[in-house]
Amino acid sequence: MIDINRIRENPEGVKEALKKKLWDTDFSELLSWDKEKKELIQVVEGNKAEMNRLSASVPQAKKNGEDVTKIFAKVKEIAAENAEKDKHLQELQTKIDAFLAELPNIPDDDLVGGGKENNKVIRQVNPKPEFKFKLKDHVELAESLGLVDYERGAKIAGRGAWIYTNLGAQLEWALLNYFIQTHLKDGYTFILPPHLLNEKSGYGAGQFPKFKEDVFWLEGLEPKRFLLPTAETALVNYYRDEILSEDDLPKKFFAYTPCYRREAGAYRAEERGMIRGYQFDKVEMVQYTKPEDSDAAFEELVAKAEGLVKGLGLHYQVSKLAAGDISHSMARTYDIEVYLPSLNIYKEVSSASNARDYQARRTMCRYRDKATGKTRYVHTLNASGLATSRIFPAILEQFQQEDGSVLIPEVLQPFIGGLKVLKPIK
């Protein structure tokens, strides 16, 4: 959530910044409610002071033999007036909160505006693979190697589903083990969160109310719950409504979960197979930091996500996203995009993002500053580390051999029984 003080101080500046995110808004109504609220609070506080003054005068009035019924009547009248004003204050606050809840995060100043057409490739890493034979795509390779059963996946779950089988399941688990071992080595705390989350968690992560219909809701449960779309949703709510000690920061977590998304694949060639589905596996990293440390934390997360892809030996690139292409709750994002030779395109396997204090304001997550004793909002950051549903195809395509076999990256071999090559079974 955006700090309303930024809007009060510079509404036009905030409006122009949000335009970079392709979000046009008018703050006049919000500022009108805010002004009315301030004026009403002054009246209410003045009335309370008058009630206190009148109540304090009762003993002396009685001592003087005066009739105090008029004083009590006046106090009652003012109390009734304040009750009405308090009700109106609550209505104003509800409207203000609803307005602010819809707004996206303000993008960082250095971001260009517009959508994905304005994304900028910062670097490309590892040699781009070249082939002297006819390429196979990952779907054909997965089937010929006996790694994935798309047909039966669709049969038992519908379009946008697949089944990892035999060595395919082992390769998927090897990837997850490689990610987990790396994060543990780097000092991150391993979390296995629940997959069913309450509505407050979606709001806290900034996914609700705008994207409330983009998740899978489970009916018949109280409170109503949804399937987590990413472990970030759970992890950024971990300290909701808590005040941390400054010495507690930074907090570094990672979680493994399946992720459940309504936005399954289309019939475009670039979304065939497991490139986009209703369910996929992902390891997610999240950090809680002090505001002054969040830029360094962002660079750390980018480096960690990159390091995993680099360690696999895959060719990839890093892109700085334009303001209009970053997610609703983020202030900046770098995408790590892996190369798919069959399509000659790059697909995102990790988005490293900094939400600044946007999510913390929604979750009321703060820390106590040792120097001042005051509370400050933390900054939250996240990055995939990594999602497997595009890494898996990239491994098959980039490391395919002319005889239809696929070389297994060296870092995965210890997690798959020392196997070095996947060979066709048909």
Q: Is the Cβ–Cβ distance between 148 and 154 less than 8 Å?
A: no
C-alpha to C-alpha distance for 332 and 351, rounded to whole angstroms: 10
Kindly give the interhelix angle for 294-311 and 167-185, rounded to the nearest 10 degrees. Answer: 140
Instruction: Check residue 271 and give its pLDDT.
Output: 57
| b/e per residue 182-196 (b: at least 16 CB within 10 A) | bbeeeebeebebeee
For residues 75-91, give the mean pLDDT. Answer: 95
pLDDT tier, 189 (very low <50, low <70, confident <90, very high otherwise): very high
For residues 61-87, give the mean pLDDT. Answer: 92
Beta strands in 204-277 (DSSP E): 217-218, 225-227, 243-245, 251-260
pLDDT, mean over the chain: 94
Give domain limits for the chain.
26-102, 116-422
Instruction: Inform me whether the pLDDT recorded for 188 exceeds 50.
Output: yes
Q: Is the Cβ–Cβ distance between 143 and 423 less than 8 Å?
A: no
For residues 354-380, give the mean pLDDT. Answer: 97
Find residue 287's DSSP bridge partners.
252, 381
CATH of 26-102, one of 2.60.40.10, 3.30.70.520, 3.30.70.3460, 1.10.287.40: 1.10.287.40
Q: How many residues does the chain have?
A: 426
Residue with tokens 């009652």: 76
Instruction: Check residue 277 and give its pLDDT.
Output: 85
Instruction: Inform me whether the pLDDT recorded for 270 exceeds 70.
Output: no
What pTM was computed for the model?
Answer: 0.92
For residues 401-415, give the mean pLDDT. Answer: 97
Give pLDDT tens digits for 366-378.
Answer: 999 999 999 999 9
Instruction: Inform me whether the pLDDT recorded for 268 exceeds 60.
Output: no
pLDDT tier, 266 (very low <50, low <70, confident <90, very high otherwise): very low
Top CATH class, 116-422: alpha beta
Element (H, E) at 34: helix 28-63
For residues 133-147, give the mean pLDDT. Answer: 96
For residues 67-90, give the mean pLDDT. Answer: 94
26-102 and 116-422 agree in CATH topology? no
Instruction: Check residue 264 and give its pLDDT.
Output: 55
- Residue 127 has a CB neighbour count (10 Å cut-off) of 8
